[in-house]
Amino acid sequence: MLKTLFLRSTARTLALGIAAGVALALAAGTTSATPIIRELHLTGTEYPIGTAGGQDSYWEVYAFPTAYTGPLTPGYQAWVFTGGAPQGNVPQQWYPGIGNGGSDNVGANGARWIGLQQDNANALFPGNFTPPQSDYSVIYRTTFQASSTGIASFALLTAADNVISFFVGGTVDNANAYMPTMTGVQIGSESFRLGFLEWVTGDAPVDAGTNFLYAVVRDRFRIDGTNPNIGNYGQTGFIVAAVPEPSSFVLAALGGGVMAIGAIRRRLKRLA
């Protein structure tokens, strides 16, 4: 009888200790350290590499330049480009092949390039213009979950045609009619890579629960190589091939703690 009571007492003490340890691990991974970021989706992963593309359920086309007067309106799901030939439909840098701008810019972690509509990668402002002209940008948006309110660390593996910057929260700033941007906190700095993936890293404040991540994709105005008196715009699109993942230490503590507490509870039942 005394042995049973001792075992029960020891088991309960151990359970409380493990629960406290799990709580401390959670606190270390959230409040006192950085919030855990979850459900921040890569671009285009719903469509396996080598298959036709379609609408991305997680990323939406959020804002256009106010100078744009074409038929597209913001507020729809971005399009996952099929890629490959014909080059006139999808720029060669957007599909695999070392000779086509880099072998790592499509397909990393199952991610794919996304843009405005279907496989039409035409510029929002087609045709030739007299220099100088402003670049233009399109803003995309997705959601993610944060475990707590605080300063979160971000690491995004990305490439864009031509330039991309990321913001957490905020509202659209239309001060420049061609280049809308965000008033939120920018993560790191702009990425100018196109043929190869590049890491964009930085910290930003988040709220517990649902947050918004914005990708501002800027297309450059380029002077014609054969006639300096005219210039034009290219295609737009981008890829996000890696995002922050929950701390493995915190997840291990959670998983191990839950399993240990479950085992102790089963032991207590046998002793009852």
pLDDT in tens, 179-202: 999 999 999 999 987 777 889 999
- Residue 112, by phi and psi: left (phi above 0), alpha (psi -120 to 50) or beta? beta
Whether the pLDDT of residue 81 is over 60: the answer is: yes
What is the Cα–Cα distance from 258 to 38, expressed in whole angstroms?
Answer: 20
Q: Could you tell me which residue, 95 or 115, shows the higher pLDDT?
A: 115
Q: What is the mean pLDDT of residues 38-43?
A: 96
248-271 and 2-29 are packed helices; what angle lies between their axes, rounded to 10 degrees? 160
Write the CA distances from 139 to 30, 75, 195, integer angstroms. 30, 10, 21
Q: Could you tell me which residue, 86 or 192, shows the higher pLDDT?
A: 192
Q: CA gyration radius for the chain?
A: 24
The ranges assigned to domains in the chain are 2-32+251-271, 37-245
Whether the pLDDT of residue 41 is over 90: the answer is: yes
pLDDT number for residue 53: 85
pLDDT number for residue 118: 72
Which pTM was predicted? 0.77
Please write the tens of the pLDDT for every residue from 166-176. 999 999 999 99
pLDDT number for residue 105: 65
Share of the chain above pLDDT 70, in %: 68
Across the strands, what pairs with 153?
Answer: 203
How high does pLDDT run on average in the chain?
78
- The DSSP string of the chain is -HHHHHHHHHHHHHHHHHHHHHHHHHHHHTTSS-PPEE--PPSSTTS-TTS---EEEEEEEEE--TT--SS--SSEEEEE---SS-TTTS-GGGSS-GGGT-TTSSSGGG---EESBTTB---SS-S-BPSP---EEEEEEEEEEESSSEEEEEEEEEEEESEEEEEES--EE-SSSS--EESSEEEEEEE--SSS-EEEEEEEEE-SEEEEEEEEEEE-EEE-SS-TT-EEE---EEEEEE-----HHHHHHHHHHHHHHHHHHHHHHHH-
